[in-house]
Amino acid sequence: MVNIPSSEIAVVYVATGNKFIKEAEFSINSVISTMPDIKIYLFSDRPVNNCNLYKNIIIDKPKYSYIDKIFSLGLINEKYILYLDTDTYLVCPVYELFALLTKYDLACSRAPMRMCFKVDVPDAFSELNTGVLCLKSNNKTQLFFEKWRDTYLYQEQNQKPPHDQPSFREALWKNNLNFYILSPEYNCRFIRPGFLHGDVKILHGRDINLPAVAKYLNKTQKQRVHVPGKDKLMVYLQEQVIPSSSCADLMRENNLIQNEK
């Protein structure tokens, strides 16, 4: 494991409005309990009480849109940054995410739900989720933030995007960032169907009892699928099975053909 001084890393939140500030405080407590040596920043539109355990930065003239998030991320001086949406919950320490940034400029996971619209980006370059972002602070990422900001403002004015992921996708395609795709355990969108293998590290979604959700999902570390239902979250184990009879018949027929040759 790469050893990184705690002075070089930070966790960042952006919250505007009482609802999201309260949500951020709960998420921040999960970071404090799992990684107590990490510096934490909370960007908000108003002062937060009892924030002696993290640094509260007031956003100058907040827009109450995703531009507040994009702009704030460019203001952090620490070399390695983990940005978390307010509806996240750290299940365990994730220091290994910062180790990724010794090799990559950015790391994030694929979006389970995509809101792509027509832009000059190949369809195969699918949308990425911006709720958990690992970022290295350097000239390349600063240029990326500027491109992301400008693209978001253009899309907001001309295409009315539902949120910041379409502009993130386009900006990432058009910038020379060395990035890595995280496995879903580091951004478990349990409110959507998904796949897990090993322990969930970071939950991402709203629930009245996130610790209980984490405990339920981590009852096993085997390959499994989680599916949100009308009344409850379901987990199904993936069993190792032999090919179906139709596949077996096809394989046997192919072998007979090969043997005849």
pLDDT (0 to 100) of residue 176: 87
Which element (helix H / strand E) includes 236? strand 233-237
| pLDDT at residue number 120 | 80
**Per-residue pLDDT of the chain in tens (261 residues, 90 and over written 9):** 678 888 899 999 999 999 999 999 999 999 999 999 999 999 999 999 767 889 999 999 999 999 999 999 999 999 999 999 999 999 999 999 999 999 999 999 999 877 666 678 898 898 999 999 999 999 999 999 999 999 999 988 888 776 899 999 999 999 989 999 999 999 999 999 999 999 999 999 999 999 999 999 999 999 999 999 888 899 999 776 555 555 555 555 555 555 554
Maximum separation of any 2 CA atoms in the chain, in Å = 80
Q: Where do we find the tokens 């020379």?
A: 176
pLDDT at 140: 94
On whether the CB atoms of residues 107 and 82 are closer than 8 A, the answer is no
DSSP codes of every residue in 204-220: ES--S-HHHHHHHHTT-
N-term to C-term CA, the chain: 53
Q: Quick one: 229 exposed, middle or buried, by C-beta within 10 A (0-12, 13-18, 19+)?
A: exposed
SS3 164: coil
Q: What is the DSSP letter of 49?
A: T
- Give the pLDDT of residue 117: 65
